[in-house]
Amino acid sequence: MIGQRENSPPLEGSMSIIDWFNNREKKTHESSKLDIPGDLWVKCYHCSEILYLKELEQNHKVCEECGYHFRITPEERIHFLFDKKSFKETDRYVSSVDFLDFEDTEHYADRIKKAKSKTKHEDAIIIGKAKLNDKDVAVGIMDFSFMGGSMGSVVGEKITRIIEVAAKDKIPLIIFTASGGARMQEGILSLMQMAKTSAALKKLSLVNVPYISVICDPTCGGTSASFAMLGDINIGEPGALISFAGPRVIEQTIRQKLPKGFQRSEFLLEKGMLDMVVPRKKLSDTLSSLVSLLDPHTK
Partner 1 sequence: MQTLDFEKPLSELYNKIDELKRLSEEGNVDLSNEIEKIEERAEKLKKEVFSNLTPRQVLQIARHPNRPDSLGLAGLIFDEFLEIHGDRTFRDDPSIVGGPAKLGGFRVMFIGHQKGHDTKEKIYRNFGMPHPEGYRKALRLMEMADRFQMPIVTFVDTPGAFPGKEAEERGQAEAIARNLREMAGLKVPVITVVIGEGGSGGALGIAVSNKIYMMEYAVYSVISPEGCASILFRDSNKADYAAEKLKITAKDIVGLGVADAVLPEPLGGAHNNWPETATTIRTRIEKDLKAYKKKAPNTIMEERYAKFRAFGQFEERKEKA
Which does residue 269 touch among Zn ion, partner 1, none (CB within 5 to 8 A, set by kind)?
none
CB nearer partner 1, residue 31 or residue 226 = 226
Backbone angles phi, psi at 297, to 5 degrees: -95, 5
Q: How far apart are CA 144 and CA 183, in angstroms?
A: 12
Query: Which partner in partner 1, Zn ion, none is near 153 (CB below 5 to 8 A by kind)?
Result: partner 1
Q: Taking the chain, what is the end-to-end CA distance rounded to the nearest angstrom?
A: 41
| Residues of this chain that bind partner 1 (CB under 8 A) | 17-18, 21-22, 91-97, 99-100, 102-105, 152-154, 156-157, 160, 182, 184-196, 198-203, 205-206, 221-222, 224-230, 242-245, 249-250, 253-254, 258, 262-263, 271-273
CA atoms of 156 and 165, how far apart (whole Å): 14
105 binds, among partner 1, Zn ion, none (CB under 5 to 8 A by kind): partner 1
Distance CA 8, CA 49 (A): 12
**In the bound complex, what is the minimum distance in angstroms from residue 48's beta carbon to Zn ion?**
7
Smallest distance, Å, CB 148 to partner 1? 10
Which does residue 135 touch among Zn ion, partner 1, none (CB within 5 to 8 A, set by kind)?
none
Closer of 221 and 239 to partner 1 (Cβ): 221
The Cα 234–Cα 13 span in angstroms is 22
- Do the strands 50-52 and 41-43 form a parallel or antiparallel pair, or are they unpaired? antiparallel
Largest CA distance in the chain: 55
Nearer to Zn ion by C-beta: 65 or 89?
A: 65
Q: Report residue 228: phi and psi, to 5°.
A: -60, -40
188 binds, among Zn ion, partner 1, none (CB under 5 to 8 A by kind): partner 1
Q: In what order do the strands lie in the sheet with 173-179?
A: 88-90, 125-132, 135-142, 173-179, 211-219, 233-236, 276-277
Binding residues for Zn ion (CB under 5 A): 44, 46-47, 49, 63, 65-66, 68
**Residue 51: CB minimum distance to Zn ion, A:** 7
